[in-house]
Structure formats: C-alpha cells, structure tokens
Amino acid sequence: MNQGGSRVERIQLSPAKRAALLGILTLLAAGAGAAAGQFEKTPSYDPTAVLSGASAGSNYLVMSPVSTDGMLRHYRLRTRWGEFEAIGDELMAARIKELNALHALDETNTTKSFGQAVVKEVAAPVVFAGHMIVHPVDTTQNTVAGVGQLVGGIRSGFNNMGKSRDDTVADLTGQTKEKRLIATGLAVDPYTDFQPLADRLNELAGAAAAGHLAVSGAMSAVPGVAGLIVSNTSTVGGFGEAINDYSDAQLMDMNRDKLARLGVDGATADSLFANRNYTPVDMTAMVEALSSLNGVGNIGPTVARAADAGSRATAYFVRRRMELTAAWQRRNKTIVAFVGDDSVMFPLAQTTSSGIVGVYPIDVLAWTPGTAQTIDAMTAAAQSAGARSKTLVITGAATPLAKSNLAARGWNLEERAKL
C-alpha cells in the first residue's frame, strides 16, 4: 500500500518479453531523438579507399585520415613544396592532375633547354615586338588574323584595366600565350591557384617566349604527357582553343557579352570577374554552362550569388555545380528557372512539372547541424515555390541517417550521379 492507500502491483515479465519491450522503447527513443535533432559524427576515410592508386604519387602523399564536414571530403597533401589542403573530391582530382603535370615537367630537361635559349636570344622579345609592327605576316603569328588577335587583345586589356590576371608586359611579349599553351597541353588550368605549378608554368613560359621555342614540340618530348588522364572534373579540354587563343581580358569581354545575352547586367558580371577565388577558366566554364541554359529564368540572381564565393573551395564547388546542372538539363530538359534566396552554394531549380531539383558535387552527405540547416532552408525554399516534388542529385552518397531525414522532409535522393 502507498501513502494514499492505493495498491501498486508489480508486473512480472519474462526475459523474452522484457527484451522485446526494451527494443520497442529504444526505437521510440531513437525516433524522438531524430525528431529533436539527432546528428551523427562525420565519417572519415583511408585515402587508399577513396583514391586507390592516386593516394600517393612521385611528388605527393595524401595523409590519413581523410575527414569530412557533412558534405565534402577534406584532403591533406604532403608534397616536396610543403603541405596543402584540397576540399572536395572534384578539387582533389584537379590537384592530383596538377601534381602529375609537375612531375612530368620535372622529368624532362626542358628547363635547361629553355634556359640556354634565353641566354642566346635574350633580346628576342624586343626585336620580336618591333618585327610584329613592321612585318606582321612574317612572325610566329603569321596571319592577318593573328594581328587582329593582338589588336583585340590590346583593346580588351584597356577595357579591363586593373581586372585582368595577365601581366601587360608578359602579354605583349607572348609569355602569357606560351603559358596557356603549356598548361592546356598538360590539361591543367593556366591560371591555377596551386602555386608550385603556377611558378613552373611562368618559368617555362618566360623561357619559351624569349627563345622563340615551339611549345607544342617541347611538350611532346615531356615524358608522361601523352599518358596524362584528362579528368571529367575539368572542362579545360572542352574549350581549349579559346583558352589558348584569348587572353584573360579577352575572355572577360566575351564572357561579359554572353552573360548580357542571358539577361545578366554588367555590374553583376563584373562583380563575378572581380572575385579572385575563381580563375578565368572557372568563369569561362561557368558562362559556357549558363549559356547552355539559355531560356532558363533568374540566371542573374544565380550569378550574383556566385560572385559572393568567399574561398577557393566554395568557388570551385559553385563552378562544378553550374556545370553539373547544365549536364542534368541536357539529359532531362525540364529546368525552367532558378528559385530561392538561398546560399551561394545551393540554389535550386524549378522544373516544368512544378518540381524542385538541386544538383550538387557533394561527396558524402552526413546528417550534421550544418547539413540539417541547409536542407531545411532548401525545403522552405521549395515550399515557397509551391513545389509538388523535391529531388536532390549528388555525385557522392548519403549516410542512412541523412537518407531518413531527407525522406522525412519529402526529398527524393539520386546518389552517385554520372553527369
């Protein structure tokens, strides 16, 4: 009897029934925890499990473990030039290609040959420049069209004074042209932010310009160049001729014109071009992707958000997201407009069936506070747009907890998208 006079009886359960009840209570507690905001520890990986044979090279080693932040993997590389970080599988693929290109260049005696040419013909750039004016069809740019390119380059240089990445003197002497030829021959970005490669390209380009060397011939002698794998994470090969033939300033003018045809005003375009977290190749890739979306609404706000990228990792993510979205559209042909006042990295697109789709280069989607906040913001944007369906397309995979939370919010998930 208790103090109130009521009788309390103990219920005796068999061990089997007690275990079953405990299991039910555990499931209920897990469900309540998820509803209240249950999160998970982000996974980490052995580099060899993620990169296989590319986890180490002749001039680098990917350090273990490879951590994640809820969406992207974070790689740490130990190289002969120091330690570097690459955020995201896509940027890591580009970095490995750059390291392989550096190794290929180091395996040749190109530097010695170029150096000897500089000593022999140190005054060549001055003579060359003077010769261009007097005998425009007798130089290495031996066509009238080549002279037109030079004049166009000078005009674009003035139009974009203070905005171009190219040095004016180096541009006039042909050094920047040689650098672009060397880089695209190796399938790397001539404006790379990876400083060891940038320094090497500038060194070889300066020597090539001074020595009147044929870069294509020099590159054919570089061991390993023919075997370099051009990853589909880079579109340098897709418009290599434009990168070869046009300076940064000229690309800027062309990209500005293309954006104008998409309804993007000049101020918004210039704000994008002013963001040094993007390279000129990044910008050209993005403009090409957006141009393929001609007819899709609200491209201007998407460009304006892209202009706010605050880091190199974010900028590369945005570039790849635009390229992947364009690839998804080529396959499905259903996107009609971009929607939502969301973050720089995660704009959504509306489809012809009043659905919402987001296409992103996400490596591993884990349910962290940051992931939950992003997905909830995307869900709210989709609801505001009156979406009948919501689809998330990612290049990687999602954890079981992330999948369950996406499903609870009405999202269809497409993993390991091949775009």
pLDDT, tens digit (0-9, with 9 covering 90-100), for 336-350: 999 876 567 788 999
Give the pLDDT band (50/70/90) at residue 14.
low
Strand partners, 320: none
Question: pLDDT for 244-278, tens place per residue?
Answer: 788 888 899 999 999 999 999 999 999 999 999 99
Which of 183, 186, 285 is closest to 229 using CA atoms?
Answer: 186
C-alpha 137: how far from its chain's center? 40
pLDDT of residue 219: 54
pLDDT in tens, 288-313: 999 999 899 999 999 999 999 999 99
CA atoms of 8 and 12, how far apart (whole Å): 13
Q: Looking at 93-97, 119-123, 153-157, 412-416, which range is the least confident one? A: 119-123
Does the pLDDT at position 82 exceed 90?
yes
Distance CA 170, CA 165 (A): 11
Asked if pLDDT for residue 351 goes beyond 80, the answer is yes
Q: Where residue 65 falls among pLDDT bands split at 50, 70, 90? A: very high
> Model pTM?
0.77
- Band (pLDDT 50/70/90 cuts) for residue 137 is very low
pLDDT band at residue 107 using 50, 70 and 90 as cut-offs: confident
* Spatial contact of 367 and 385, defined as CB atoms under 8 Å apart: no
DSSP characters over 254-294: HHHHHHHHTT--HHHHHHHHT-TTS-HHHHHHHHHHHHTTT
Give the mean model confidence (pLDDT) for residues 108-122: 45
The share of the chain scoring above pLDDT 90, in percent, equals 55
Asked if the model's pLDDT at residue 314 lies above 60, the reply is yes
**β-strand partners of 205:** none
Q: By the 8 A CB rule, do 62 and 390 touch?
A: no
Please, which pLDDT band fits residue 68 given cuts at 50, 70 and 90?
very high
- Please answer whether residues 379 and 410 qualify as being in contact, where contact means their C-beta atoms are separated by less than 8 angstroms: yes
| Cα–Cα distance, 382 to 374 (Å, whole number) | 12
CA angle, 307 then 167 then 162, to 5°: 45
78 C-beta neighbours (distance < 10 Å), count: 14
Q: How many residues does the chain have?
A: 419
Q: What angle is formed at CA 85 by the lines to CA 198 and CA 403, rounded to 5 degrees?
A: 130
Q: Mean pLDDT for the chain?
A: 77
Contact 218, 110 (CB under 8 A): yes
pLDDT score at 28: 38
